[in-house]
A and B are shown apart, each in its own frame.
Chain A
Amino acid sequence: MTKVIVFIDHKRGVIKKATAESLSVGKNIAGQIPLVAVMFGAGAKDAVFCLSKYGVDREIVFDNKHLKNPVSLNAVKPLIAIIKQEKPDIILFPHTAAVKELLAAVSANLGISPIVDCVAIENTDGKLTCHRPVYAGKVVVSLTSNQKPTIVSIRPNIFPVIERSAKTKIEEFAFQLNATDILTTIREISGDDKKRPDLMEAKIIIAGGRGVGCAENFVVLEQLADVLGAAVGASRSVVDAEWQPQCIQIGQTGKTVAPELYIACGISGAIQHLAGIYSSKTIVAINSDPDAPIFKIADYGIIGDVKEVVPALIQELKKAKQSS
């Protein structure tokens, strides 16, 4: 008998892929016990259709004119009130940057030690054993919590999304949130209209390293990304050289990604870079140096110049698309 609450990360009512993954994990743990989703802000009420697809039995919604960023730190009071009312055994969050401050604030206030960024979870009668990478993924630690509720977050792109059907019942939560409860305010948002998927959610990532040669040459990688509907990433050398912005750096001091396909172009495969891509399903490397360490872990390697191989790959993919 395990009661699970999943906190929904979304943008204006559209739930993120990592949220769908969390719901799938939550439903597996909850089994026959109704799965509860908690969703804040504009669009929450219209998300029922989407939530029912992932087996949500009850959706608790809350909106308030002060709560402009509904997954931020500012939502801590209503979320704690809901937790106190619902008394769940487990609270699941997607491990996204957007909800991290809120997860921490809830944990600190309730005095609970969360287990974050899990890549595998075993459930024995509601007792969770959570596995999470540490030391840049060089080892994986398994942990259990002796606290109730247990707060857990899961790494995006690792757990499968499982569709089911449920009749989702909407419940509005009554809570008095005041202007003084707003701790951080957003002055400006941009980059919301990007045509490429976010790195953390992308199924395919095309990443470039110093071997790409210069900032301008990244255009070819972008073309490849567009053909595949992929995101573009970069090594640290590329970011430090200011060819690309910090927000697309992959590795130990960048993002940890887990796409189905990672294509490393002109990347040597330093240990700090590999730390960020180790959980990728398939890794392809294109590098002119046959001794580049990236070839040791690449499922498929091509020895060659990025400037020649990538355009050939684009041609080939376009051909394959046309003939299918």
Chain B
Amino acid sequence: MNIFICVKVVPDSETIIKIAPDGKTIDETNIRLAINPYDEYALEAGVQLKEKVGGEVTVISVGDENVAGVIKKCLPVGADKAIHLIAPNSRMVEPLSIARLLADEIRSHPFDIIFCGKTTIDAQNGLVGELLGSLLNIPVVSAASQFSVEGDRAVVSRDVDGTKEIVDCALPCLVTAEKGLAKPRYPSLKEIMLAKKKQIDSEPVIPGEPNLCVLGLEYPPNRPPGKIIGEGAGAAPELVRLLTEEAKVL
């Protein structure tokens, strides 16, 4: 089976985000990069599928030159190769443009299944996978918490706004990973050594003209500083009073 995993390299979840002087981008100094957490689940799910049914796992990522080192980390985990579509300053490029770049590349290869993350933790659109599937004209199932292949169909369990669903669709298809879809593994030293021989194909790409215009970035309004109202069970009446009379949420 030909399995593609779309991976984005993002500032890690602890990074302090500072707005750059232009007011429209973030300050890139001191940012630590990591694989988007949901994409790690996607990658692991793809690798496990390959281990079960055979085939090849290809990681594909759109990002600037700085992210190559992080993409490499997908190889010891079990990806056979990686495609790095190099686009400078592309981190916050609109999802449709990213999806088009990915679609153009993936279309030129045989593919049976594509895994994406449910969402990125930087742009937070939760869209690139769904857009990509539609551009490729294949079924999409998002936020999978379990996945299997039965014959020529993919079967996915997921939680949709509080309801559990089991959904199936024909292959080829695109599945986006919820946390817990698969538990990311730590590669062994041997796998890390072997992965050095695996290839990364890099290729420059140019995103299309943007349809969205970024007017600016702002910090969210600060929450008022926290207040301790008491200790132990004895504080319960005061809490109920404050919630009723002051906050008016009860």
Contacts and interface: CB of A to CB of B under 8 A. Distances in A.
Counting chain A CB atoms within 10 Å of each CB, the highest count among B124, B131, B247 belongs to B124
Interface stretch (B49-57, B71-79, B196-204, B213-221): B213-221
Given A140-B219, A300-B227, A253 B179 contact: yes
B172 to A, nearest CB: 12
B101 interface: no
Contacts of B2: none
B193 interface: no
Contact of B227 (A185, A189, A239, A301): A301
A52 interface: no
Given A142-B214, A316-B236, A302 B13 contact: no
Nearest to B234: A312
A282 B131 CA distance: 36
B13 A272 contact: yes
B223 to A, nearest CB: 5
B122 A135 contact: yes
A115 to B, nearest CB: 7
B231 A284 contact: no
Q: Is the interface of A mostly helix, strand, loop or mixed?
A: mixed
A143 B162 contact: no
B224 interface: yes
A186 B158 CA distance: 11
Contacts of B218: 131, 139-140, 142
B249 A261 contact: yes
Interface string A213-256: 00000000000000010000000000100000011010011100
Interface in A259-313: 260-261, 271-272, 275, 278, 281-285, 290, 294-305, 308-309, 311-313
Contact of A204 (B217, B220, B249): B249
Interface stretch (A43-51, A98-106, A157-165): A98-106
A192 interface: yes
A283 B225 CA distance: 11
Contacts of B37: 252-253
Counting chain B CB atoms within 10 Å of each CB, the highest count among A76, A131, A253 belongs to A253
Given A140-B219, A249-B179, A104 B131 contact: yes
Contacts of A298: 226-227
A184 B166 contact: no
A311 B219 CA distance: 38
Contacts of B134: 76, 104-105, 107-109
A282 B215 contact: no
Interface in B29-44: 37-38
Counting chain B CB atoms within 10 Å of each CB, the highest count among A137, A190, A302, A304 belongs to A302
A252 B13 contact: yes
Nearest to A200: B161
Nearest to B242: A300
Given A98-B160, A104-B133, A252-B121, 17 more contacts: A76-B134, A100-B142, A101-B142, A107-B131, A108-B130, A117-B124, A135-B17, A139-B219, A142-B216, A184-B141, A184-B169, A200-B161, A246-B159, A247-B159, A247-B164, A295-B226, A300-B227
Interface of A: 16, 73, 76, 96-98, 100-101, 103-105, 107-109, 111-117, 129, 131-147, 183-192, 194, 198-200, 203-204, 228, 239, 246-247, 249, 252-254, 260-261, 271-272, 275, 278, 281-285, 290, 294-305, 308-309, 311-313, 315-317, 320
24 contacts: A100-B130, A104-B133, A108-B131, A114-B96, A133-B124, A134-B217, A135-B26, A142-B217, A184-B141, A186-B166, A191-B163, A194-B162, A246-B179, A278-B220, A281-B249, A299-B223, A301-B227, A302-B231, A304-B232, A304-B233, A313-B236, A313-B239, A316-B237, A316-B240
- Per CB-CB distance, the 9 closest pairs between chain A and chain B, nearest first, are A104-B130, A198-B162, A108-B134, A312-B233, A247-B159, A312-B236, A183-B139, A113-B211, A138-B17
